[in-house]
C-alpha cells in the first residue's frame, strides 16, 4: 500500500488542470495505469484521494460495518457513489472535476497533503486554518507506536 507523506502546493490553471506531486505519482503508478480516486471528504472542507487498494478498503469497511440496505450503509456509501476515478498523464497533470474544486473551494492553487494511505487536496488557506486547529488539539497527545508484527 502507498505511503503518502509531505505537503505540496501546485498551480491550478484556468481549465482546472493541476500536477500531481512527483512523489505521489511514483506511488500511484502501476505500469500504464495512471489513475487514482477522489471524493469529497466526509470530515473536512477538502477532497480525499487514494489508490485502488485504499478505495477497496473503504468499500469493504462499509460492507463490514453496516447492514446491507440499511440507512447506515446508504449514508456511508456516499463515499463510493461520489468517488471519481481520475486519470493523469505522464507528467502528472490531471483535470480536477469542477464540482469537486467548487466543493473544496480550490481556485488557483491546490495543496496536496499526505495522510499515510491516502492524501487530501485542499485550498491552501483553508488548510492553514485547519492545521492550526489540529496542532492546538494535538498538544499533549502521545503517539503509541505499534510493535513490529503486532496487529
pLDDT at 31: 57
Range 88-95 average pLDDT? 95
- What pairing do the DSSP bridges indicate for beta strands 47-50 and 118-122? antiparallel
Kindly give, in sequence order, each residue whose CB lies less than 8 Å from that of residue 107, ignoring residues fewer than 6 positions away: 12, 101, 123
Q: What is the DSSP letter of 30?
A: B
Q: What is the pTM of this model?
A: 0.88
Residue 151's pLDDT band (boundaries 50, 70, 90)? low
**Region of poorest pLDDT, from 14-23, 33-42, 63-72, 118-127:** 63-72
Residue 1 pLDDT greater than 90, yes or no: no
Sign of CA dihedral 26, 29, 30, 31: negative
Return the SS3 of 29. coil
How remote is the C-alpha of 19 from its chain's centroid? Answer: 15
Q: DSSP per residue over 74-87, as a string?
A: HHHTHHHHH-EEEE
Q: Mind listing the domains of the chain with CATH numbers?
A: 7-138 (3.40.1550.20)
Range 112-116 average pLDDT? 97
Amino acid at each position: 500500500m502507498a505511503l503518502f507523506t509531505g505537503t505540496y502546493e501546485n498551480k491550478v490553471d484556468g481549465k482546472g488542470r493541476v500536477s500531481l506531486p512527483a512523489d505521489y505519482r511514483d506511488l500511484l503508478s502501476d505500469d500504464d495505469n495512471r489513475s487514482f480516486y477522489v471524493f469529497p471528504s466526509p470530515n473536512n472542507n477538502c477532497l480525499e484521494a487514494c489508490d485502488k487498494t485504499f478505495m477497496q478498503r473503504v468499500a469493504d469497511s462499509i460492507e463490514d460495518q453496516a447492514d446491507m440496505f440499511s440507512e447506515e450503509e446508504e449514508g456511508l456509501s456516499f463515499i463510493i457513489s461520489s468517488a471519481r476515478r481520475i486519470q493523469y498523464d505522464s507528467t502528472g497533470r490531471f483535470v480536477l472535476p469542477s464540482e469537486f474544486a467548487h466543493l473544496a473551494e480550490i481556485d488557483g492553487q491546490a495543496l496536496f497533503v499526505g495522510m499515510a494511505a491516502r492524501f487530501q487536496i485542499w485550498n491552501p488557506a483553508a488548510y492553514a486554518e485547519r492545521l492550526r486547529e489540529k496542532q492546538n488539539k494535538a498538544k499533549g497527545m502521545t503517539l503509541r507506536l505499534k510493535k513490529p508484527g503486532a496487529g
